[in-house]
Amino acid sequence: MSMRTILMSLPLLSSLISCTVSSPAGALIDGHLRPCPNSPNCVTSDSGDSTNTNRVRPLSFSGSSEKAWQRIQGIIKGMGGEIEEVQPLYLRAAFRSTVFHFVDDVELRMVPAEKVIHIRSGANVGYWDFGVNKKRVQKIRQLFQQESAGDMQPRPDTSSGTG
């Protein structure tokens, strides 16, 4: 088989993979997000048995849990995620890679009493993800903190006069 034949068949192969690989049904297991497999293509904040390589901190917030939940949904959509399931305390979204259309799942679990949102981001196929899921969680965290800081900044005093 020539190199040209191999290169020409890659788009077809990626289309077949993206069509046949679907996101697993998200679900909480004993009230927690699914643990990551023993591979580097997944990170989570919600599993006590995770290794250091796939462990991340949960997202923390102050103020209303409802506002935090709405804010995180906007961030997911703004980053190109497709929200597939949303409940009052659980969310599952899918992100597709640009070239091969591989699907990564992002799952979130809100814990209002602790003022945290646990997060899991993992690839559905393969072993390596070149750090994509960890970078995605870092970007979500950065955007969430930026928006949270904006909510906490004092509003300018619009009243005029000396009283």
- Domain extents in the chain: 45-151
Per-residue pLDDT at 158: 41
Q: Which helix (H) or strand (E) holds 86?
A: strand 82-86
DSSP code of 51? -
DSSP code of 85? E
- At residue 34, does pLDDT exceed 60? yes
Per-residue pLDDT at 8: 53
Distance CA 109, CA 45 (A): 10
Q: What is the pLDDT of residues 84-104, one digit of tens each?
A: 999 999 999 999 988 878 899
Per-residue pLDDT at 61: 96
**Three-state DSSP class for residue 145:** helix
The amino acid that residue 151 corresponds to is D
Higher pLDDT, 48 or 74: 74
Q: Kindly state the average pLDDT of the residues 106-113.
A: 98
Q: Kindly state the average pLDDT of the residues 64-88.
A: 97
Query: Which option is the CATH number for 45-151: 3.40.50.10800, 3.50.50.60, 1.10.1470.10, 3.30.310.80?
Result: 3.30.310.80
Higher pLDDT, 142 or 27: 142
Per-residue pLDDT at 120: 96
Q: Which helix (H) or strand (E) holds 74?
A: helix 65-78
Where residue 149 falls among pLDDT bands split at 50, 70, 90? confident
pTM for the predicted model, two decimal places: 0.76
Average pLDDT, the chain: 81
- At residue 50, does pLDDT exceed 80? no
Q: Kindly state the average pLDDT of the residues 66-94.
A: 97
- At residue 111, does pLDDT exceed 90? yes
Task: Choose the weakest-confidence range: 25-39, 59-73, 104-118.
Answer: 25-39
